[in-house]
Structure 1
Amino acid sequence: MTKPATCSTQSAGVLALPVRKRGLEVIHDPLLNKGSGFPDSERAALGLRGLVPPRTVGIEDQVGQAMENVRRQQSDLDRYLYLENLHDCNETLYYRVLLSHLNELTPIIYTPVVGQACSQFGHIYQRARGMYFSSADARHFEEMVGNWPEDAIEAVVVTDGSRILGLGDLGANGMGIPIGKLSLYVLGAGLHPRNTLPVLLDMGTNNQALREDPFYLGQRIPRLTGDAYDKVVEAFMRAVHARWPDALIQFEDFSNDQAFRLLERYRHRMLCFNDDIQGTGAVTLAGILSALRVTGQTLTEQRVVFLGAGAAARGIADTIVAGMRAESGIGLEAARRQIWTLDSQGLVTLDRLDNLSEHKRPFAQDSAPLADLIEVIRTVRPTVLIGVSGQPGSFTEEAVREMHRHCARPILFPLSNPTSKAECTAEQAYTWTDGAALFASGSPFPPITRAGHLLVPGQCNNMYIFPGVGQGVVACQASQVTDTMFYVAARTLAGLVGEDSLAVGRLYPDLTQIREISAKIAVAVCELAFAEGLAGIARPDDLDAFIRARMFQPSYVPYESA
C-alpha cells in the first residue's frame, strides 16, 4: 500500500520549532547557529545576549564578509579549509555562500581541490563530520549506527577510499569525498543537510606512504580483500538499512574490482547506486546528446572510443548503449559493437577474453590487436573520444589531429580528474582541431577566445545528475534506482541546453541553474518511478510543486524557545 505524499518541515527547509537548546548550545550547533544574524527577539528567548556581537547582521552582508575572507586566502587549499570551517560553524550561511557564488566555489569544495584536500586529510583534519566504520569494529556496526543522532537520514554517501578521483588508494583520507558529495546534494537538489550522512568504510590501505604518515587517521593495515572485505560491507549495509530503511546509499570512489560487484549485489536489495558508474554515464551521455544537436547526427551513427576501461568507462558505455537502443531500437550487441575500449594492454578484443575482467567483456571487439590509441583512431575513425584513463596528456596532438582528419566536429571528452590528470586541455583540443572540437572535461577549464570567437568548454560534472536523481528517488520513496532513471536524467539534462550555449560550444546548462536542473530531473525520475510501479507514495497532484517544496533553502528562519 502506498503512503500519501508528505513534506516534513525539515525537508521543506524549515527547522522544526521550537528550539530546545539555549545559549552556547545554539551557537555550537551549525544547523542552528546564525553567527551575528540573531535578531534581538531570539537573543532574549534563547539566552544569547552577550554571546554574540551587539549588531544584528543580515545574511547577505554575512555572505559578503565570508567571500572577502575566501578571496584573501593564499591558496585553493586554504580556501577549502576556510569554507569547511564555515560549514562546521554555520551551515545555513555556508550553503547561502555557495549558492551565491556557485561557479567560483564548487571547484573549491569538490573537484579539483577536494583531491588535494584528501591527499592531506590527516594533516588538515579539524572536526569529525560523518561516520567512520572501521573493519575492526564490524561486529559493532548495528550498535554504532545508533550513535548518529538523526533519525530521518535520506542520503548516505559511502567510500572505502580505494580509488579517490585519479589519485588512487587514499584509505581513510577519502572521507573528504562523501563530505563534498553531500554538500553538492544539498546545494544542487536541496536535500536538507540534517538528513545526509557521509561515511568512510575503513578497510585499510595499500598506500605504504600513508601507513607510515604519523598524521594518517585510518587503520595502518593492508587493505582487506575477498570474503573478509565482503563481510564488512555486508555488515555495514545491513546496519545502515536497518536504522534508515528508506535512505539512499550512494557508492563513491570504490576501486574497479569492487565497484561493479557491490552495485550488482545490492542494487535490487536496497535503494542504492554507484555514481562513478551510473552518474558518470548519464552526464556524459547528456553531453554527447548536446553535441549531436550541433552536428545534426544521431547517437546510433557514432563510433565511440574509450581510453581507459574501468568503472567510469563501463558506466558511460552502458548508458550510451541504452540511449542508442531507445533512440533507434538497435539490438544490444549491435549497439555494443559501436564502442571500442582501450586498457593498458591495448584494444580490448575477443582474443583476450580469458584474461579480461568481467566488466570489460561485453565491449570486447572482434578485431585484430591494436596496441595504442593512434592505431585505434586510424582503424576505427571515431566520432567520439572519451578519456577515463587517469593518464595526463594521453590525448596527444597526433591523436587529436588524426581524429579530426576523419571527423569534421570531433567530440572530445577528457574526463579524468582532477585537472592535472586530464587527457588534454581545452586549449589543446581547440588548437589541434582549429576550433572544431566539441569539448567537455571532468574538471573545469576557462573559456577561450579563438579568432575572435568565444569557446566555452563544458564540464562533464556529475553534479548535473546525481542530486536530481537522488532527490527524485527519496522524494517518491522508490524501491530501487534503475538504469532507465539515469537515461531519463541524461535526456532531461540535454534538453535544458539552450541554442545560445551550443553556439559557443557549451554542452551543458550554466551550473548556476543547478536547482532548476535538479528539480526537473527529480520530477522526471519520479514520473518514471510512478509509471513503473516503483514509488512508495501516492502520486502528488502537482509533482513539480511537491519536489520544490522539499528543497532546503539556505535562509534564516525564526526560532523560539521551547
Structure 2
Amino acid sequence: MGSYHQWFAPWKSRLFECLQISKSVAMIWIDLSTSYHCNRTMEEQTVRVLTNFQKRSNDLDRFIYLISLQDRNEKLFYKVLSENVEEMMPIVYTPTVGQACEHYGIVFRRPRGLFISINDKGHIYDILCNWPERNVKAIVVTDGERILGLGDLGVYGMGIPVGKLSLYTALGGIHPAKCLPILLDVGTNNKKLHADPLYIGRQKGRITGAEYDELVDEFMHAVQRRYGSTCLIQFEDFANHNAFRFLDKYRNKYCTFNDDIQGTAAVGAAGIFASLRITGKKLIDNVFLFQGAGGANTGIAQLLSLAMQEEGATEAEANSKIWMVDIGGLLTKGRPAGDIEGHKAVFAKDFKHMNNLEEMVDEIKPTAIIGASAVPGAFTDRIIKAMGKYNERPIIFALSNPTSKAECSAEQAYALTEGRCMFASGSPFPSYNMNGKTLHPGQGNNAYIFPGVALGVITCGLRHIPDLLFLRAAQRLAELVTDDHLAEGRVYPPLSDIQEVSFKIAVDLAQYCYSNGLASAYPEPENKAEYIRSFMYTLEYESFEPETWEWPGSA
C-alpha cells in the first residue's frame, strides 16, 4: 500500500491542478458559447445557413453542406429543411441523392447509419444492441442493388435510407433518434466498385440464394426482438426479384412495407385520382398503359385495380383496364411460359404481341400512360401527340428517377398536347409558361406518402400494414389537391404544404386503423390529431437559463 501512495503522491497535486484548469476552461467556454448563442437566434442561424447553401456552386456541394450541418446541429438542419422544402428536398433526396450515392466514397464523412455485412451473419442482434438508441421506431433498410434508376451501387446506396429518414423527421415529425438507417452489405456486382479505392463495402460479387435469405430472415427477427413488433421496417431499393417476394414473405409477420412498390403505388394512384376531377371520367372508364412492369408500376397497377374493385368492379374487369409493357414487350398470354413473373401475370392480355410502344398507343388508345422504366425518352414526341389526339385531357406520368431517366420532360408533355395534359414526374421539373398561363408539373414524389404513413403507423402501434392503408393514404392525398391546384396543372399539393399533408394523412390513417381494429396503442385517443401532434419532433431549441447554472461544488 505504501508503494502505491509513493507512486501516486507526485501526481496528486498535478491532478488537482488539471481539474482546476479544466474547470476554468470549461467556464470560459460556457461563457463564450452562452454569450454567442444567446445573441444568435435560430432565425438568425437559419439566415446564415441559407446564405451558405445558396453560395454553393452545384447541387452536390449543397448536399455535402447540408449533411455536414446535420452532423453538427441536427435541430437547425431540420428547421431549415422543413421551412425550405421546395428548395432543399431535391438536394437531400431525389434527384441529387442519386448523384451523392454515385460519389458516396467522396461524400462520406461519418456513418449516419448501421452497416451490417454478410460476415456479421449470426450476430445481427448483438450489432443492433450496440446501437446507442434503445427505442428505435422506424428503420429504412436497403441492400443497394437497385438504387433509383442507377442500378447496383452496393453500400454507396446508404444515402437512400439516410435521406428517407431525414424526410421522416422533416416532413413527418418523427424524432430523428427514433430512426435508424441500415444497409445490408452482401457485396456488389458493379465491377467499377470492385476497383474503386474509395469504396467502403465488400468488394466482391453479391451473395445470393439461401445464404442471402438467411441474412435477411435473421435481420427481421433481430429487429423485432430488439425493438418490438411495432417497429416499422421500410424496404427500399431492393431489386424487383427480391422486393416482391420479401413483401409477400414478411407483410403478415412484421410491421413492414416496401416503399418502391407500395409508396410509389399510393402517390401514383393519388395523382390519377386527382386528375379524374379534370378529365371527368370514372376510374373504371379509363385505360392505363404502363411503360415498365417493375415494382413501381406494378404497385400502382395493383392499387388502381383495388380502387376499381372498391367502386364495384370485379377483379377481372379492373385488371382488363390495365396494360403493361416490360423489357419483353406488351404483357400478353401468348408469350413463352415463365417469361412473365407472378406479380405481373394478372395483367397479361389475350392479345397480339407487340414490342413498339408507339404502335401500342395507337392500338390501345390509353387515357393514361405511366412510365417507371428508367428508359429516358421512352415517351416520344409521336406518343405524346397521339395521347393528345385520342384524349381531350390526357394523363402523362413520367415517374422514373432521377431526372436524367425520365420518360419525357414536362415541357415536352405540355407543348405537344397544347397544355391539355395532366403531367407528373418522379423528379422535379420547372414550371412551364404557355399562352400566358403558368403550368406547374406535379412531382409524384413518395415523400407525399411515406412520412404520413409512418407517422400514423408508429403512433397507432400497428403490427402489420395492409394494402388498404395505402389506398386510403392515396385517396386522402388526392382530396388535399384543391381546385386551385388543379387549375395550375398540379395533381399534388405544393411541396411547401407537404408537412401538413403528412400530418393530415397520419390523422386520417389513425381514424381508419382504430375503426378497423388495426391499432394496438390503447386506450384509443378521443382527439386523434392532438394525440399525433404530441408525438411530433419540435424544431425549436430547448429553453435554458444559463445565468443560473453553476459548476458542481462551486458553492
By the TM > 0.5 criterion, same fold? yes
> Which residue of structure 2 aligns with residue 372 of structure 1?
356
Is 2:521 the counterpart of 1:521? no
Supply the distance in 1 between the matched residues of 2:479 and 2:160 (Cα, whole angstroms): 29
Aligned to 1:197, which of 177, 180, 187? 180
- Residue 166 (structure 1) aligned to one of 123, 126, 149: 149
Name which of 373, 377, 398 aligns with 1:393: 377
One of 465, 475, 480 as aligned partner of 2:449: 465
- Which has more radius of gyration? 2
Q: Which structure 2 residues correspond to residues 261-300 of structure 1 after superposition, within 5 A?
A: 261-300=245-284
Superposition deviation, residue 363 in structure 1: 0.9
Aligned match of 1:361: 345
Opposite residue 314 of structure 1, the aligned amino acid is T
Residue 68 (structure 1) aligned to one of 45, 51, 58:
51
Please, what is the CA RMSD of the aligned residues?
1.5
Please name the residue that 1:15 is paired with.
none
Matched to 2:137, the amino acid is E
Distance apart, 1:60 and its partner CA? 0.3
Q: Work out the number of aligned pairs and report it.
A: 518
Q: Secondary structure at the match of 2:31?
A: coil
Partners of 2:90 and 2:73 lie apart in 1 by 20
AA partner of residue 338 (structure 1): K
Could you tell which deviates more after superposition, 551-560 or 159-168? 551-560
CA distance in 1, matches of 2:377, 2:168: 32
In 1, distance between residues paired with 2:154 and 2:29? 43
Aligned to 1:351: 334
Whole-Å Cα distance in 2 between the matches of residues 223 and 334 of structure 1? 41
- Following superposition, the deviation at residue 315 of structure 1 comes to 0.5
Corresponding letter in the other structure for 2:200: L
State the TM-score, normalized to the length of structure 1.
Answer: 0.90
Partners of 2:84 and 2:469 lie apart in 1 by 30
What SS class does the counterpart of residue 438 from structure 2 fall into? strand
**C-alpha separation in 1, matches of 2:439 and 2:83:** 25
Alpha-carbon separation, structure 2, partners of 1:235 and 1:558: 43
Distance 2:357 2:202 in 1: 40
Alignment of 1:541-560 (within 5 A): 541-559=526-544
Counterpart-to-counterpart distance in 2, 1:516 and 1:68: 26
Residue type of the alignment partner of 2:178:
N
What SS does structure 2 have at the residue aligned with 1:354? coil
Instruction: Tell me, yes or no, if the aligned pair for 2:232 and 2:458 is still in contact at 8 Å.
Output: yes
Structure 1 window deviating more from structure 2 (421-430 vs 534-543): it is 534-543
Match for residue 498 of structure 1?
A: 482
Distance 1:88 1:497 in 2: 35
**Are 1:49 and 2:31 counterparts?**
yes
Map 1:95-106 to 2 at 5 A.
95-106=78-89
Q: Which amino acid aligns with 1:131?
A: L
* Unaligned residue ranges in structure 1 (runs of 5+): 1-42
Cα shift readout 1:30-61 (whole Å, capped 9, x = no counterpart): xxxxxxxxxxxxx97x9733457746300000
Relative distance call for 1:528 and 1:54 in structure 2 (3 A) is closer
1:342 is matched with 325
Q: Which residue of 1 aligns with 2:18?
A: none
Alpha-carbon displacement from aligned partner over 1:222-253 (angstroms, at most 9, x marks no partner):
11111111011011111111111121000000
Q: 249-258 vs 372-381, which deviates more?
A: 372-381
- Distance (Å, rounded) in 2 between the aligned partners of 1:436 and 1:133: 49
- 1:188 and 2:171 matched: yes
CA deviations over 1:252-311 (Å, ceiling 9, x no partner): 000001000111111100100000000100001110111110111111111000100101
Query: What CA distance in whole angstroms lies between the structure 2 residues aligned with 1:394 and 1:227?
Result: 37
1:487 partnered with 2:471: yes
Partner of 1:18: none
User: How far, CA to CA, are the matches of 1:526 and 1:373 in structure 2?
Assistant: 42
Q: Among 101, 119, 139, which residue is 1:156 paired with?
A: 139
SS of the equivalent of 1:350 reads coil
CA distance in 2, matches of 1:53, 1:214: 45
Residue 389 of structure 2 aligns to a residue whose secondary structure is helix
| Aligned-partner residue type, residue 478 of structure 1 | L
Aligned mates of 2:154, 2:213 — CA distance in 1: 17
Q: Within the alignment, does 1:508 sit opposite 2:492 as a pair?
A: yes
Partner of 2:203: 220
Q: Secondary structure at the match of 1:349?
A: coil
The residue type equivalent to 1:187 in the other structure is A
Structure 1 residue 354, shift from structure 2 partner: 2.7
% identical equivalent positions: 46
Larger displacement relative to structure 2 (411-420 or 398-407):
398-407
Among 246, 254, 257, the residue aligned to 2:241: 257
Query: How far apart are the structure 1 equivalents of 2:333 and 2:190?
Result: 34
Amino acid at match of 1:332: E
Instruction: Determine whether 1:530 maps to 2:514.
Output: yes
Q: Distance in 2 between matches of 1:67 and 1:363?
A: 48
**Matches for 1:114-125 after TM superposition, within 5 Å:** 114-125=97-108
Shift of 1:559: 4.6
TM-score (norm 2): 0.91
Shift of 1:558: 2.3
* Deviation by residue 1:497-524 (Cα, 9 ceiling, x = unmatched): 1111101111111111122111111112
1:544 aligned counterpart, secondary structure: helix
Cross-structure match for 2:10: none
CA displacement, residues 414-450 of structure 1 (integer Å, 9 cap, x when unaligned): 0000000000000000111111110000000011110
Q: State the match for 2:17 in structure 1.
A: none
SS in 2 for 1:97: helix
For 2:30, what is the secondary structure of its paired residue?
Answer: coil
- CA distance, structure 1, for counterparts of residue 207 and residue 412 of structure 2: 41
2:147 counterpart of 1:177 = no
Q: 2:302 aligns with which of 315, 318, 335?
A: 318
Amino acid in the other structure paired with 1:72: K
Q: Distance in 1 between matches of 2:348 and 2:515?
A: 35
Task: Call closer, same or farther: CA 1:52–1:351 in 2, change over 3 Å.
Answer: farther
Q: Which has the higher contact order (CA 8 A, sep 6+)?
A: 1
1:143 Cα deviation after fit: 0.7
Asked if 1 retains the 8 angstrom alpha-carbon contact of 2:82 and 2:499, the reply is no
Residue identity matched to 1:543: K
CA contact (8 A) 2:256 2:464 kept: yes
User: Which residue identity is paired with 1:49?
Assistant: D
Q: Deviations over 1:422-479 (max 9, x none)?
A: 0000000011111111000000001111011111100001111111111001101012
User: Counterpart in 2 of 1:86?
Assistant: 69
Q: For 1:216, what is the secondary structure of its paired residue? A: coil
Q: Structure 2: where are the runs of 5+ without partners?
A: 1-25
2:62·2:91 contact (CA, 8 Å) conserved in 1?
yes
The residue aligned with 1:8 is none
